[in-house]
Amino acid sequence: MEVEDCLRFRGALRCLALLSDDLDDTLVPKLVPNLFPYLHTVISSPHLYEKSLRSKALSIVHSCVSILGSMSGVYKTETIALMMPMVSSLMEHFSTILQPPMQSGDPDDWSIRMEVLKCLLQFIQNFPSLVQAQFSVIMAPLWHTFVSTLEVYQLSSIQGCEDAYLGRFDSDGGEKSLDTFVIQLFEFLLTIVGNSRMAKVIGSSIRELVYYIIAFLQMTEEQVHTWSLDANQYVADEDDVTYSCRVSGSLLLEEIANTYREEGINSIIEGAQKRFSESCHAKVAGSTDWWRLREASLFALVSLSEQLLEAQDSGLVKIKLGALLDKMITEDMGTGLHEYPFLHARAFSAVSKFSHVISRGISEQFLCAAIQAIALDVPPPVKVGACRALSQLLSEANKEVVQPHIMGLFSALTGLLKQASDETLHLVLETLQAAVRAGHELSQSIEPILSPVILNVWAQHVSDPFISIDAVEVLEAIKNAPGCIRPLVSRILPSVGAILDKPQLQPAGLVAGSLDLMTMILKDFLSEQSAPADVVKAVFDVCFNPVIQVILESDDHGEMQNATECLAAFLSGGKQDFLAWGGNPEHTMKRLLDAVSRLLDPNLESSGSLFVGSYILQLILHLPSQMAPHIRELVTAVVRRMQSSEIAVLKSSLIVVFARLVHLSSPDIDQFINMLLTVPVEGHANSFYYVMSEWTKLQGEIQGAYQIKVTTTALALLLSTRHVEMAKVNVQGHLMKSNSGITTRSKARLAPEQWTVVPLPKKIFSLLAEALLEIQEQALDGDEEDSDWEEISESEGGIPQDILYSSSVPSNANPSVEHLDAMAKAFNESDDESYEDELTKLDPLNEIKLADFLRNFFIGLSNTDRSLFDHLFQSLTHAQRSAVAKVLS
């Protein structure tokens, strides 16, 4: 080839490599048969073309295979026919490239191997049947690359003796570093392990594979340097799963554990044990890097702590995990804190993760060592590890062990708090929270010292949602400590009162943060049998009117949301006494209703009204007689707010308000329906038609166990009225299936989704059957011995026996994941902690057993009108019919 032609060819290849990512499924099938022979020539001719050019050819192959893979779902036969003639020769060339040992200091060698791995990755993901038969050709060369890469990585990155080309790029912007290649290698291996066909191919080599992976997890010299200088970066990289070889390696180990189960788990533990032994020998031999392998062994175990503990509980672990960890973490305990800070930090984290299998004595020794490390002049990584251990261990620690050290710990953490910033600040606050909870009655003596410091941190970081929340949680822990609530409130109120009195003069975030702080002070009284009313009243005296003013005057949605939550907490804490605290109950009630009016303003952006539903529920629950004269105005405003709402969560919360009003109007629910029928609404016959249309459409999206219980039972109560208007209301039924195949975006634009239209009674009945089915499935998943489906008294959770008069259709509901989770909580009704919304815990409706209620509902219909019941039963889906039949039997 002439020089000029050669230059043109090289230029054309580089251009094609740059354009290959933009090729589409119309070009590639035509391009592959003509282009691949030329690419094959380049790839297979190392004597003619340098590695960088062959890498470009491989990158084009990768792009084409990737596009063909995306087409294979629809054009499987055609794409396989295109690829089949080329697979064998490509595998041979891939093998040739991977066979030689990795070269140190040669980024072009790393790049061409990386392109091979990327091509193989596409073949395995998209054409596994073609690759499986040929994969034996690749296995040995791939293993040679893997093992030799560790040797290069050990010298270049871990020890820092050779150039790892970190942060360097080629002329096209591709990263040339060794770390990038190692991460690609791990990604390829993870794909093999995760593929059911390919996992069998390497199954016999899992122990060796794990053994080498653990060595890759060693801290690099660059990491040691960076993390030693910047503790914030160390905490951030540990917490945020950053892009690194350590993280990629731990993800690969996790996939091995999940895929190979017992063999994978035991391979990981054995690999860690072997590497730990090697570190012991290296230490004896005088190696300065012995600690890296020991830290990597612990890192591997800590990264998979959940899987390992679960396997141990299941009897899958052959080696006694507790004994191994005892040996690994006590080998260097108390020595070398300055020389090997990262090893000691990892030992602390190992103790916190495996505290239940490590011997109690050793766990307590590390607890005391962590407390001491906070106060000692030790490197920041050791303090980070100590904080992590304490935040986990203090909650379960023996009181006799902790109490003698708790005051010193408070002092040390308070001092550390003044030095901390960013990521370390979060960690210290988390540790302080655990210390306050563990301090019990001793916390009272530290409150005068600790509270001002935490309040200062909160004020400085009030616009940072993460740090400010951490600070509030520490203050909440102080508030809940014996004897601390009153001094804390007296310390907070003057400052917060001054802020709320002049909200327009405050810096951004301070008003919203102050409201959040007040809500924290108020909200947890709900869980106590005797709320400290004097504290609630003290907060009321200072903050009630300013909170109302924020709602009436602010345009900041965060302030309005927090003020709404604060008002709801006021009502829950003060209950009926609340109105008298202001001296004029009528005026206080008017202020509460003024806030409702502003929050339900249809012209207000939806975000500002987000928590109005919870607030209205508190008014209904605690001030029902005072609310009764205003129900019509309330309904009118709620309907208008629903119509203008741009947020589904807001609309769902207002549906819960209507459901609670149904219960409030019982047993005169007919009157409530009649009132809705007389309230006009734009675009609909009346408010009843509109509300039921939206309610039945969104019932499957309702979240929260309480909310599901209230809405589900309210639907049954509405149906039980036999109101004549119900059969006249038509609502959205189920989605009509399209006969035009896969629905693309263009098809969706031309032919939007179509739904059936069904009478309201049919829809309600199907929703109730769906709720019954979901609860039964949750019960089955829980495998509970004492099922709610055993014989129960019909008087429990019952409803009137003559209940229904219409028919049903299969439900169109596709409940959200959150809805199903909430159904699980609604079923597990014996556990108070399962309720997400503490504000509604005092509602008597929480006493309803939803499973019993639905069971009696269907039994009642069956007993009172068998012919109607049979008609309804036949119109349900098969799954719904089975659920109903189960309760009847």
Q: Where are the alpha helices (DSSP H) in 354-398?
A: 360-375, 380-393
Question: pLDDT tens for residues 279-327?
Answer: 999 999 999 999 999 999 999 999 999 999 999 988 888 888 999 999 9
Is the pLDDT score of 486 beyond 80?
yes
What single string gives the DSSP state of each residue in 77-103?
HHHHHHHHHHHHHHHHHHHHHHSSPPP
Compute the average pLDDT of residues 854-870: 84
Compute the average pLDDT of residues 53-74: 85
Element (H, E) at 732: strand 730-735
Is the pLDDT score of 785 beyond 70?
no
- Reduced to 3 states (helix: H, G, I; strand: E, B; else coil), residue 717 is helix
Compute the average pLDDT of residues 521-548: 80
Tokens of 318: 């052959």
Q: How confident is the model at residue 523 (pLDDT cuts 50, 70, 90)?
A: confident
Q: How confident is the model at residue 826 (pLDDT cuts 50, 70, 90)?
A: low
- The Cα 270–Cα 210 span in angstroms is 9
Give the pairing of strands 755-759 and 730-735: antiparallel
Q: How confident is the model at residue 807 (pLDDT cuts 50, 70, 90)?
A: very low
The pLDDT of residue 752 is 65
Do residues 767 and 696 make contact, with C-beta atoms less than 8 angstroms apart?
Answer: yes
Do residues 515 and 547 make contact, with C-beta atoms less than 8 angstroms apart?
Answer: yes
Compute the average pLDDT of residues 690-702: 95
Question: pLDDT tens for residues 660-675?
Answer: 999 999 999 999 999 9
Residue appearing with tokens 């409201």: 515
Element (H, E) at 759: strand 755-759
Residue appearing with tokens 């109302």: 548
Q: What percent of the chain has pLDDT over 90?
A: 59
Is the pLDDT score of 678 beyond 70?
yes
Tokens of 492: 């907070």
- The Cα 855–Cα 797 span in angstroms is 9
- The Cα 345–Cα 367 span in angstroms is 13
Compute the average pLDDT of residues 486-496: 95
Element (H, E) at 327: helix 321-330
Tokens of 195: 């593929």
The pLDDT of residue 804 is 32
Provide the CA 72 distance to its chain's centre, in angstroms: 33
Is the pLDDT score of 744 beyond 70?
no
Among 154-163, 393-402, 811-820, 869-878, the least confident range? 811-820
Is the pLDDT score of 198 beyond 70?
yes
665: how many CB neighbours lie within 10 A of its CB?
Answer: 17
732 phi/psi in degrees, rounded to 5: -65, 130
749: how many CB neighbours lie within 10 A of its CB?
Answer: 8
Compute the average pLDDT of residues 210-236: 94
- CA distances to 306, 507, 531 from 644, rounded to whole Å, are 46, 31, 38
Residue with the larger pLDDT of the pair 315 and 809: 315
- The Cα 107–Cα 91 span in angstroms is 23
The pLDDT of residue 612 is 97
Cis amide prior to 546 (ω within 30 degrees):
no
Compute the average pLDDT of residues 205-230: 95
Residue with the larger pLDDT of the pair 239 and 340: 340
Question: pLDDT tens for residues 325-363?
Answer: 999 999 888 778 899 999 999 999 999 999 999 999 999
The pLDDT of residue 234 is 92
Is the pLDDT score of 210 beyond 80?
yes
The pLDDT of residue 196 is 86
| Identity of the highest mean pLDDT range in 190-204, 439-453, 560-574 | 560-574
Is the pLDDT score of 795 beyond 60?
no
The pLDDT of residue 264 is 94
- The Cα 190–Cα 198 span in angstroms is 11
Is the pLDDT score of 434 beyond 70?
yes
Do residues 596 and 550 make contact, with C-beta atoms less than 8 angstroms apart?
Answer: no
Provide the CA 47 distance to its chain's centre, in angstroms: 53
Torsion, CA 691, CA 693, CA 696, CA 700, rounded to 10:
-90
Q: What does DSSP assign to residue 241?
A: T
758 forms beta bridges with 731
The pLDDT of residue 608 is 95
Residue with the larger pLDDT of the pair 840 and 381: 381
Do residues 707 and 827 make contact, with C-beta atoms less than 8 angstroms apart?
Answer: no
Tokens of 53: 């050019």
Mean pLDDT of the chain: 86
Is the pLDDT score of 681 beyond 70?
yes
Three-state secondary structure string covering 788-812: CCCCCCCCCCCCCCCCCCCCCCCCC
Is the pLDDT score of 836 beyond 60?
no
DSSP H helix total and E strand total for the chain = 42, 2
Contacts 24+ apart (CB under 8 A), 414-418: 414/449, 414/450, 414/453, 416/374, 416/383, 417/453, 417/457, 418/453
Do residues 304 and 297 make contact, with C-beta atoms less than 8 angstroms apart?
Answer: no
Do residues 270 and 207 make contact, with C-beta atoms less than 8 angstroms apart?
Answer: yes
Q: How confident is the model at residue 788 (pLDDT cuts 50, 70, 90)?
A: very low
- The Cα 147–Cα 109 span in angstroms is 15
The pLDDT of residue 789 is 37
586: how many CB neighbours lie within 10 A of its CB?
Answer: 10
Q: What is the CA radius of gyration of the chain?
A: 33
The pLDDT of residue 545 is 96
Is the pLDDT score of 609 beyond 60?
yes
Question: pLDDT tens for residues 100-141?
Answer: 999 888 888 999 999 999 999 999 988 888 888 888 899 999
Residue with the larger pLDDT of the pair 566 and 83: 566
Residue appearing with tokens 């920041």: 380
The pLDDT of residue 821 is 59
Compute the average pLDDT of residues 419-443: 90
Q: How confident is the model at residue 4 (pLDDT cuts 50, 70, 90)?
A: low
Q: Where are the alpha helices (DSSP H) in 3-46?
A: 3-19, 28-43
Residue 29: partners with Cβ closer than 8 Å, 6 or more residues away: 68, 71, 78, 79, 82
The pLDDT of residue 832 is 44
Q: CB-side exposure of 813: number of CA atoms within 13 Å?
A: 30
What single string gives the DSSP state of each residue in 680-703?
-BTTBS-HHHHHHHHHHHHGGG--
Is the pLDDT score of 525 beyond 70?
no
